[in-house]
């Protein structure tokens, strides 16, 4: 059965998640009882207007923020109950991240930027170099390995950011507006790479987006409206 058949259990789950932020003597609810399942080997888009709670939801899925109530699960691990050390290990070993602003260090080369998370994990030099080269080849930028971010286009920088995520060999990639600073042509290249990640490497991709091009390529769409989840819409190719 294909990915949309959901023969496998969810890789990531939210159940009844709320997130409240204090504002003076009151609270603002950024998320209101959100329950959703993210299935493996799919590209899931989370959409909604600015202020709808998308980034809050992504941060909670990633363990970067804690829900006020509710549960978050990665496979059989209760993410919202993990301590900071275990959360860090979870993100390092199982998650990859791609941001709208690329998040590259300006004084380091493309290869050095890709290798930073691998150094933090204290992988052996030979393993680091192999993974960096493999990731560069995968995004088609082997020839730019020694270039610094300011010597590359926006699309190239985002491909390097994607290579950095891939080098960690994660099970799940979380992307926050990955095409937000790119024109439609270059943005489509990033979308095509994300689709290849799902198809060829069987990774799971979750994308926060406003981009109609991303939405059109997603397997599953979840829409947030004022912190609440609207019924998901399935997209079939």
* pLDDT tens figures, 43-99: 999 998 888 889 999 999 999 999 999 999 999 999 999 999 999 999 999 999 988
pLDDT on residue 231: 67
* SS3 state of residue 72: strand
Residues sharing a CB contact under 8 Å with residue 228, sequence separation 6 or more, in sequence order: 32, 33, 34
What is d(CA 44, CA 57) in angstroms, rounded to the nearest whole number? Answer: 13
pLDDT above 90 covers a percentage of the chain that reads 57
In a domain, 60, yes or no: yes
In a domain, 161, yes or no: yes
Is 0.85 topped by the overall pTM? yes
Judge whether 237 lies within some domain: no
Altogether, the residues listed in the chain come to a count of 237
CB 13 within 8 A of CB 79: no
* Contact predicate 227/30, CB 8 Å: yes
Q: What is the pLDDT, as a whole number, of residue 75? A: 94
Q: Percent of the chain beyond pLDDT 70? A: 94
Query: For residue 217, what are the domain limits?
Result: 3-232
At 235, is the pLDDT very low, low, confident or very high (cuts 50, 70, 90)?
Answer: very low
Is 113 inside a domain boundary? yes
Band the pLDDT of 27: cuts 50, 70, 90: confident
141 backbone φψ class: left, alpha, beta (φ>0; ψ -120 to 50)? alpha
Q: Characterize the bridge pairing of strands 95-99 and 26-38.
A: unpaired
For the chain, the domain total comes to 1
* Region 124-135 average pLDDT: 93
The predicted model gives 29-40 an average pLDDT of 94
Confidence at residue 237, expressed as pLDDT on a 0 to 100 scale: 39
Question: CATH number, domain at 50?
Answer: 3.40.50.300
Average pLDDT over all residues of the chain: 88
- The answer to whether 94 and 74 are in contact (CB under 8 A) is yes
- The CB-based long-range contact list for 79-87 (8 Å cut-off, 24+ gap) reads 87/63
pLDDT one-digit tens code per residue, 186-227: 888 888 889 988 998 899 999 998 888 889 989 999 999 999
3-state secondary structure of 43: strand
């Amino acid at each position: 059965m294909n990915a949309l058949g959901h023969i496998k259990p969810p890789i990531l789950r939210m159940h009844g998640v709320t997130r409240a932020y204090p504002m003076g003597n009151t609270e603002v609810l950024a998320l209101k009882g959100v329950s959703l399942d993210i299935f493996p080997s799919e590209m899931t888009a989370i959409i909604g207007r600015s202020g709808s709670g998308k980034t809050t939801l992504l941060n909670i899925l990633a363990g970067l923020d804690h829900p006020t109530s509710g549960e978050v699960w990665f496979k059989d691990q209760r993410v919202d109950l993990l301590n900071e050390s275990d959360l860090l290990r979870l993100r390092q070993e199982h998650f990859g991240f791609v941001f709208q602003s690329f998040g590259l260090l300006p004084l380091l080369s493309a290869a050095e930027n890709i290798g930073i998370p691998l150094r933090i994990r204290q992988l052996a030099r030979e393993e680091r170099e192999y993974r960096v080269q493999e990731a560069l080849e995968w995004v088609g930028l082997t020839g730019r390995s020694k270039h610094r971010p300011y010597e590359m286009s926006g699309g190239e920088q985002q491909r390097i950011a994607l290579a950095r995520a891939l080098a960690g060999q994660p099970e799940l990639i979380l992307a926050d507006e990955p095409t937000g600073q790119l024109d439609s042509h270059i943005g489509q290249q990033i979308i095509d790479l994300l689709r290849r990640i799902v198809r060829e490497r069987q990774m799971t991709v979750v994308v926060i987006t406003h981009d109609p091009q991303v939405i059109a390529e997603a397997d599953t769409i979840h829409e947030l409206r004022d912190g609440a989840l609207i019924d998901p819409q399935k997209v079939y190719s």
